[in-house]
Amino acid sequence: MASLSKRLQTNIDGNYFVDSTCIDCDTCRQLAPTTFIEDSDYSSVFRQPESVKEEFAAYQALIACPVGSIGTVKKNSTMLQKAKMSFPLQVESEVYYVGFNSEKSFGANSYFIQHPKGNWLIDSPRYLTHLVQAFKAQGGIRYIFLSHKDDVADATRYAKAFGATQIIHRADAHALPDAEWVIDGKDIVQTETEFLVIPVPGHTAGCMALLYNNRFLFSGDHLWWDHVRQQLGTPKNLVWDDVQLERSVKILLNHSFEWVLPGHGGRIHLSPPDMKNAIHQLLQRRWHLPLPQL
pTM for the whole thing? Answer: 0.95
The residues, ordered by sequence, that sit 6+ positions from 151 with a Cβ below 8 Å of its Cβ are: 105, 108, 110, 123, 124, 220, 221, 263
Torsion angles phi and psi, residue 146, rounded to 5: -105, 115
201-203-208 Cα angle (round to 5): 45
CA atoms of 158 and 127, how far apart (whole Å)? 7
Between CA 6 and CA 279 the distance in angstroms is: 41
pLDDT at residue 178 in the model: 95
Q: Which residue from 218, 222, 261, 260 is spatially nearest to 238, judged by alpha carbons?
A: 222
Query: CA-based angle 62:98:195, to the nearest 5?
Result: 155
CATH annotation of 87-287 = 3.60.15.10
**Alpha carbon of residue 48 to chain centroid:** 25
Given the candidates 3.30.590.20, 3.30.365.10, 3.40.50.300, 3.30.70.20, the CATH classification of the domain at 4-84 is 3.30.70.20
Q: Which of 68, 17, 66 is nearest to 45 (CA)?
A: 17
**Could you tell me the residue ranges of all domains in the chain?**
4-84, 87-287
| pLDDT for position 1 | 80
For each of the chain's 294 residues, which pLDDT tens digit applies? Answer: 899 999 999 999 999 999 999 999 999 999 999 999 998 899 999 999 999 999 999 999 999 999 999 999 999 999 999 999 999 999 999 999 999 999 999 999 999 999 999 999 999 999 999 999 999 999 999 999 999 999 999 999 999 999 999 999 999 999 999 999 999 999 999 998 899 999 999 999 999 999 999 999 999 999 999 988 999 999 999 999 999 999 999 999 999 999 999 999 999 999 999 999 999 999 999 999 999 876
CA distances from 239 to 134, 151, 206, 261 (A): 35, 15, 12, 20
> 137 CB contacts (<8 Å, ≥6 apart)?
none
